Amino acid sequence: MSETLNLRNVEWALTTITELILLVYLLRRGLFRSHPVFSAYILAVILQSVLMAATYGIWSSQSHRAWLIFWLSQLVVETARFAAVVEVARRILSPFSGIWALGRRVLLMTAGSVLVYAALLSREYWFKLPLNVDRGVGLAVATVIVTLLLFARYFGLPMDHLDRSLCIGFCLYSSFCVINDSLYDKWLVGYLNFWNFLGVLTFLASLFLWIGAARAYSEAAPARAPVVVPQELYEKFSSELNVRLRLLNEQLNKFLNPGSQR
Amino acid sequence: MNITIILFILLAVLLIGALVWAIRPPRRKLLSINDVLTALSEEHHYSRLPQILQALQPEDTAFLRDRGLAPLRRRIRSQRGRIALLYLDCLQEEYEKLLEASRVVAAMSPELIALDEAERFKLNLRFALGCRYLRWKLRLGLEPWGGFGLLSQMASGMALRLEGATSQIGERTAWSLEFSSILKERNNGTR
């Protein structure tokens, strides 16, 4: 490799080392059992770094082959990232079967709509397909994470520190990916290195966040064994609560629109 | 400037903002199962509405003005406005407790009724916005109760609805007992 050791290479090396540290933590703490997809995602990212180092060593980083290998490997990494997010969502929501049943439909619909939306917005730029896919997946991942967190907040669901950190890391990284891809698309074509630098920097920040959470992870976390009530009881409570909430809303309406009484 | 690019960047920034909002520690205190039962069986504030509405009617204090006691009338009206705000506080407190109870029950249910949950979410939004709006109106001394000529009609409408609700709520004691016994059974089973 004839390239000089520039800032980008240092950053790249630092990121790979950080990924390896995270992988070691995942293995040593036994987190690969509770988070197998996330562990596979980190492994995929490391393998991609190795593959790209080898590719750039054999062919030039500007070659068509290198470009193709990068985007194909990126497709695998994107899929793994999405799967890791689904795993986190399942971990947070699935102990509550009712919420999980509703939540997974909402999350699936959210992800689908965002992907369609991103595809529609990018349809005129099909020649930039990889970049658009990257941006679309980034937007979908960030939206799913935010929806998941709002869902968990609305229902007051417990969430351990690791899952919370995974959510924050994924969302921040994905959002910055969307911004980076958009800026690159429009203004930074001539600043490829700078664009890469920003992308890797945000990923590095997420890695540090995840390492911190993996280090602090405790096996003695409280077991999630929520109480389950019969469906009929939920239906009764649910309808009664809605009647009561509607009545309170009507009271408020009487202050606001006293003339609208039916 | 390309609108598509701006939309993408805007969405990403909005998502970061929503993330920051969503990861804040929750302010509300999580209810226990006992609190849910209490929330369902507590006395509520519906019965006070006619008095509150009556007190807010401008006609209710008009005689003071006719007798040349305008300052007293103003003071009384301002006090009644404060009482209305207190009533609104109680209403909101009750609302939040019920909403929290519904979340606790949802977390324990094997399957949620999406329509019920969506309706609750919608009601919650409406209530939160309406409450805030009304509170500001009362604080600013504005009169949101301009059309209180229909007071009696409103009260009777509410009474009808309350009757419907009470008949449903009448079954509550039985459910509560059933609910408590199930929880007791489960607790014994897990020990």
Residues A157 and A194 in one domain: yes
Q: Which two tokens stand for residue A100?
A: 């999980």
Question: Which amino acid is residue A235, in one-letter code?
Answer: E
Residues A206 and A93 in one domain: yes
B148-177 in b/e form (b: 16+ CB < 10 A) is beebeebbeebeeebeebeeebeebeebbe
Residue A258: is its pLDDT beyond 60? no
Residue B23: is its pLDDT beyond 80? yes
Q: Is residue B7 part of a domain?
A: no
Residue A222: is its pLDDT beyond 70? no
Query: Cβ contact (<8 Å) for A121 and B110?
Result: no
Q: Is residue A1 part of a domain?
A: no
pLDDT band at B164 (very low <50, low <70, confident <90, very high): very low
Residues A24 and A119 in one domain: yes
Residues A196 and A240 in one domain: no
Q: Which two tokens stand for residue B125?
A: 């939004």
State how far the Cα of B43 lies from the Cα of A244, in Å rounded to an integer: 12
Domain count, chain B: 1
- Check residue A255 and give its pLDDT: 62
- Check residue B32 and give its pLDDT: 64
- Check residue A42 and give its pLDDT: 94
Q: What average pLDDT does the structure give for chain B?
A: 68
Q: Interface pTM (ipTM) of the complex?
A: 0.72
Looking at per-residue pLDDT, the higher value among B177 and A81 belongs to: A81
Residues A243 and A192 in one domain: no
- Provide the 3-class DSSP secondary structure of residue A57: helix
- Check residue B188 and give its pLDDT: 56
Query: What is the count of residue pairs from A and B with beta carbons less than 8 Å apart?
Result: 236
Residue A188: is its pLDDT beyond 80? no
Q: Is residue A90 part of a domain?
A: yes
Residues B27-46 pLDDT 10s: 666 566 666 666 666 666 65
Query: Cβ contact (<8 Å) for B175 and A156?
Result: no
> Taking residues A234-257, what's their average pLDDT?
69
pTM: 0.69
State how far the Cα of A91 lies from the Cα of B177, in Å rounded to an integer: 33
Residues A139-183 pLDDT 10s: 899 999 999 998 888 887 888 888 899 999 999 999 988 888 777
Residues A119 and A138 in one domain: yes
> Taking residues B2-18, what's their average pLDDT?
85
Residues B88-120 pLDDT 10s: 787 777 777 777 777 777 777 766 677 777 777
Residues 6 or more apart whose Cβ sits within 8 Å of residue B77: B58, B61
pLDDT band at A46 (very low <50, low <70, confident <90, very high): very high
State how far the Cα of B94 lies from the Cα of A182, in Å rounded to an integer: 47
Residue B169: is its pLDDT beyond 50? no
Residues A81-111 pLDDT 10s: 999 999 999 988 888 877 888 888 888 888 8
Domain count, chain A: 2
Structural domain that includes position B89: 31-190
Residues of A in contact with B8 (CB under 8 A): 118, 121, 135, 139, 178-179, 181-182
pLDDT band at B81 (very low <50, low <70, confident <90, very high): confident
Query: Cβ contact (<8 Å) for A229 and B16?
Result: no
For residue B85, what is the nearest residue in chain A, using CA coordinates? A255
Structural domain that includes position A109: 7-218
Q: Is residue A111 part of a domain?
A: yes
Q: Is residue A2 part of a domain?
A: no
State how far the Cα of A110 lies from the Cα of A102, in Å rounded to an integer: 12
Looking at mean pLDDT, say which of A195-199, A200-204, B58-62, B93-97 comes out highest: A200-204
Looking at per-residue pLDDT, the higher value among A212 and B103 belongs to: A212
- Check residue B118 and give its pLDDT: 75
- Check residue B179 and give its pLDDT: 56
State how far the Cα of A211 lies from the Cα of A231, in Å rounded to an integer: 41
Residue A80: is its pLDDT beyond 90? yes
Residues of A in contact with B147 (CB under 8 A): 257-259
Task: Please report the residues numbered 122 through 181 in chain B whose beta carbons come closer than 8 angstroms to any beta carbon of chain A.
Answer: 123-124, 126-127, 130-131, 133-134, 144-148, 150-151, 153-154, 157-158, 161-162, 164-165, 168-169, 171-172, 175, 178-179
Q: What secondary structure does DSSP assign to A95-140, as a single string?
A: TSHHHHHHHHHHHHHHHHHHHHHHHHHTGGGGGGHHHHHHHHHHHH
- Check residue A159 and give its pLDDT: 83
Q: Is residue A249 part of a domain?
A: yes
Q: What secondary structure does DSSP assign to A162-198, as a single string?
A: HHHHHHHHHHHHHHHHHHHHHHHHHT-GGGHHHHHHH
Taking alpha carbons only, the member of A163, A155, A165, A34 closest to residue A100 is A155
